[in-house]
């Protein structure tokens, strides 16, 4: 159970979904505040306490979720956002993550999966012991806070991206499969997209984002290598 001080916000126009989710979060030990529209949420942020994390619906009348996120970022409202949506296509997940969300979870998933994503986003995981930051060459990974640094500079990874980098770095010099990387980011048994190997598209897109984020702090970053048809490798023979 989380600290009594943790406040989770919900923005969703479906009253039954809001009530059910708020009840589940309350039972899990969170405080909850809910709004039925993006407009109401943004207005409320001008006064009163801000949530520690926001669960945001994508499809809503008026302002949709991605527009709410854009306005939050424009107003420098930096609380973490997890999108909850019935939209499972890769394009929506990409838009959410590129817009600044930290995660994207389909509404059909169980509350157990959502709670796990919340714990990871907040940097809390009661199921695992606290571990010291891991340093591998120029890479520094803090599992407790899900923060990464490369050559001493922060790399702004999402929860999923951090988990994939962690899985690669843990097997430095060895190939890591698409499936293993997908499971590291999403959890075993999580639906991987269209088709039997749909998860590969998700992993390729995530690795592309990860590379771009590392290159943003180091233009010479080439640590992540391809193993065509199998997966990726964190290369031991590179600087770092």
- Fold of domain 7-121: Rossmann fold (3.40.50)
pLDDT at 129: 44
Q: What is the DSSP code (8-state) at residue 66? A: H
- pLDDT score, position 87: 63
The residue that leads in pLDDT, 90 or 44, is: 44
Lowest mean pLDDT among 101-105, 154-158, 169-173: 101-105
Rg (CA), the chain: 18
- pLDDT by residue (tens digit) across 115-157? 888 887 786 544 444 455 688 889 999 876 678 999 999 898 8
List CB contacts of 5: < 8 A, sequence separation 6 or more.
31
Q: Is the predicted pLDDT of residue 67 greater than 60, yes or no?
A: yes
Task: Name the DSSP letter for residue 89.
Answer: S
Could you tell me what percent of the chain has a pLDDT over 70? 80
Count CA within 13 A, CB hemisphere, residue 227.
14
Predicted pLDDT of residue 157: 85
For residue 146, what are the β-bridge partners?
none
Q: Where in the chain is the domain with CATH 3.40.50.2300?
A: 7-121
Rounded mean pLDDT of 56-61?
89
Q: Domain 134-234: give its CATH code.
A: 1.10.10.10
> Two tokens at 53?
């994390």
What is the residue-averaged pLDDT of the chain? 82
**What pLDDT score was predicted for residue 4?**
53
Q: Where are the beta strands (DSSP E) in 145-192?
A: 147-150, 153-155, 175-177
Please spell the DSSP secondary structure of 92-152, one letter per residue.
HHHHHHHTT-SEEEETTS-HHHHHHHHHHHTT--TTS---PPEEETTEEEETTTTEEEETT
Percent of the chain with pLDDT over 90: 38
Tell me the average pLDDT across 169-174: 92
pLDDT at 125: 44
Instruction: Write the pLDDT tens digit of every residue in 183-240.
Output: 887 665 554 444 456 678 888 888 998 999 999 999 999 999 998 889 999 997 655 5
Residue 160, CA distances (Å) to 89, 116, 220 in order: 17, 12, 23
Which residue ranges does the chain devote to CATH 1.10.10.10?
A: 134-234
Dist CA 151 CA 165 (whole Å): 15
pLDDT at 122: 81
């Amino acid at each position: 159970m989380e600290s009594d001080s943790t406040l989770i916000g919900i923005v969703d126009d479906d009253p039954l979904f809001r009530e059910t989710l708020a009840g589940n979060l309350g039972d899990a030990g969170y405080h909850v505040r809910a709004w039925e529209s993006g407009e109401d949420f943004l207005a409320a942020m001008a006064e009163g306490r801000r949530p520690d994390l926001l669960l945001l619906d994508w499809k809503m009348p008026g302002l949709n979720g991605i527009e709410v996120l854009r306005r939050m970022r424009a107003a420098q409202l930096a609380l973490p956002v997890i999108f909850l949506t019935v939209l499972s296509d890769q394009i929506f997940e990409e838009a959410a993550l590129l817009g600044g969300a930290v995660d994207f979870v389909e509404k059909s998933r169980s509350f157990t999966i959502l709670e796990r994503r919340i714990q990871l986003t907040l940097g809390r995981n009661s199921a695992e012991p606290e571990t010291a930051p891991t340093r591998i060459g120029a890479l520094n990974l803090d599992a407790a806070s899900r923060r990464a640094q490369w050559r001493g500079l922060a790399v702004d990874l999402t929860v999923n991206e951090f988990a994939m980098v962690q899985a690669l770095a843990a097997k430095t010099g060895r190939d890591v499969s698409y499936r293993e990387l997908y499971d590291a980011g999403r959890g075993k048994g999580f639906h991987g997209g269209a088709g039997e190997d749909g998860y590969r598209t998700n992993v390729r897109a995530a690795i592309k984002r990860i590379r771009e984020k590392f290159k943003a702090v180091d233009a010479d970053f080439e640590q992540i290598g391809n193993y065509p048809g199998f997966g990726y490798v964190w290369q031991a023979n590179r600087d770092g």
